[in-house]
Chains A and B, each alone.
Chain A
Amino acid sequence: MILLMTHRRQPGARLSTTRVRAVALKEVRDYRRNKFIASTMAVMPILFMVAPVITIFNLPASIPAGRLDAGIGISLLYLTLIPALVPAVISSYSVVGEREQGTLEPVLTTPVRAEELLLGKALAAFVPTLAISYAMYGIFLGLAAAIAHPNVTTNVFQAGRILAQLLFTPLLAGWSIWAGIAVSTRTSDVRVAQQLSSLVSLPPLAVTALMGFGILRPTVGLAVAFGAALLAIDVLAWKLVSALFDRERLITGSKA
């Protein structure tokens, strides 16, 4: 009899929160002590804050509405680069990094399922990214209120813009994380994974760019619609990446 072991999740199999938590905790501990990742996560958001702050500070009071929208849109686009690019650093390292340092095989010998392992890794990238992104946005709003002209501040504080930013931040981070993990499971070199992850995390930014340049109006309804679409894509991406997670290929480099 030929046995074909695909190691897919069994229908109805329970997702263990204990294992997901264990993976997430370990990842956070490990990243905190990884100087490259810690410094990238600290420096990159600050760099992406500089341009938006300078932009809104330089927007004159008498600027036409169209140019004001574009200026603020570009500033917010910079801010959405934080949830798009920061988690890519972590998630692209998550699987291929473990493979390179030889820690993946012992983990795969435990009862952990692919979904649990990947969800734990995703959470470990998601939570700090969300905290950093919201913190940066909060600082941006604070600076806008403090230093920008009142008409600029009014535009920055539009409900549609705020909702879009709050909604897109976690969803863009989710996309970036799953894209990064997907790349990380299919490549065999950390640097290649990081470069590819940065690239594949960018497409959803097109939506925020369209809003920023006034091609799409950032209404509440539009933000919710795109948010729902991104959420659905994030969930599908989790399932897809889990299905593509091939223990045999990761251990031996050959397909099952």
Chain B
Amino acid sequence: MNLTADPATAAPSRTAPALVVEGLTKRFGTRTAFENVSFSVNHGEVFGFLGPNGAGKTTTVRTLGTLIAPTSGHATVAGLPLIPQNGVEIRRRIAIMPEAPGLYLRLSVAENLSYFAGLYELTDGPARIERALRAVNLLDRADELCRSLSKGLRQRVGLARALLSDPTVLFLDEPTSGLDPVAAGTVHDLIDALRNRGVTIFLTTHRLAEAERLCDRVAIMNTTLRLVGTPDELREQLFSKRLEIRTREPLADPERVLAGLAGVESWHRADDGAYVLAVADPGLVAPDAARALVAAGADVLSLSPSQYSLEDVYLRLIDTDVEAQNR
């Protein structure tokens, strides 16, 4: 992979945040797509936008991309206020890769990119096309018709198209949707490379492991914005920290041994037999726990802090929403 473009040429201003969204709302008649959404994204950040189907993720991307008009609220995109007068200039500074790449299947890969180079009025179109295709490892397929490409390859062409204009902010809407793990891995590597180049990436995804791996911060959306932060911050907001203990044999009286430890908020036995302790600080509780276990005659196999996944955070939030709706 070779991303050699000068990131400085793509960024109009790198001091202000790349995206600022304040109280943005979009309604279609009586249906609310998203409501009172506020967040900001720093330059060079990979920002994950998570949420279930119908949560308003794609509508948010389309709104920030000037494709649809917000009902109320403010936003600044790539340094420009989101107002009708700035539509063309905003679209010049950003790129959006929709979930379906939307390629002209009767045209070749190079012809597809050449069309978009023209739409961006790129004076060095052929060089940009070559660079974008090299970035997605498709230079040798430039003359192939898009209809002959696999879904994964089409997704990479879509990504190459989004890179053509050296965007300040790149919106990727479910870029790995429907891809096999190998093809998805290639897209992940590309996103990593873009992050290293300083491109701001707004990534909507259903794949929580993908968000956890790639994103500096994530927002969880379900019509309203539920949480924003780094994956660690979200875990801390929703869950206690955990200490996981494995013993050779089950404890005779775990309640007596574990519940009496200072700093333990609760405990339970996991399906795999491990004792999971909810604690404020695993580092403080672990030595006491080890001593108590030995005193109780247990053979301790392992004692380690463990953390909830982003998926746990996501599911707890969405489950809470579902319960609230059912009430």
Contacts and interface: CB of A to CB of B under 8 A. Distances in A.
Interface string A127-151: 0000000000000000000000000
Contacts of A16: 121
Nearest to B62: A251
Interface in B142-156: none
Given A3-B82, A5-B83, A251 B68 contact: yes
B118 A3 contact: no
Nearest to B115: A26
A111 B66 CA distance: 10
Contact of B98 (A33, A105, A252): A105
Contacts of B161: 106
Contact of A5 (B66, B89, B102): B66
A106 B74 contact: no
Interface string A15-30: 0101101110110011
Interface string B86-124: 011101101111101111111100010011111111000
B85 interface: yes
A111 B120 contact: yes
Contacts of B89: 111
- Of B28, B95, B118, the most chain A CB neighbours within 10 A belong to B118
Contact of A111 (B73, B92, B104): B92
A110 interface: yes
A5 B84 contact: yes
Given A18-B118, A18-B121, A106-B101, A111 B91 contact: yes
B55 to A, nearest CB: 16
Given A26-B107, A103-B104, A113 B70 contact: no
Contacts of A25: 115, 118
A251 B103 CA distance: 16
B69 interface: yes
Interface residues of B, number: 47
Given A8-B84, A105-B98, A251 B67 contact: yes
A60 interface: no
A104 B82 CA distance: 22
Contacts of B85: 10
Given A5-B70, A5-B84, A251-B67, A30 B104 contact: yes
Interface in A10-49: 10, 13, 16, 18-19, 21-23, 25-26, 29-30, 33-34
Contacts of B181: none
A4 interface: yes
A109 B93 CA distance: 10
Given A104-B102, A105-B98, A254-B28, A29 B107 contact: yes
Interface in A32-89: 33-34
A121 interface: no
B116 A110 contact: yes
B68 A109 contact: no
Nearest to B106: A33
21 contacts: A2-B71, A3-B82, A4-B69, A5-B84, A19-B118, A21-B118, A22-B115, A22-B117, A25-B118, A33-B106, A101-B105, A102-B100, A103-B102, A103-B104, A104-B102, A106-B96, A106-B98, A109-B91, A110-B91, A111-B89, A247-B66
Q: Which 8 A-B pairs have the closest CB atoms?
A: A22-B118, A5-B69, A33-B106, A110-B119, A109-B96, A248-B68, A26-B115, A102-B102
Interface of B: 28-29, 59, 62, 65-74, 82-85, 87-89, 91-92, 94-98, 100-107, 111, 114-121, 158, 161
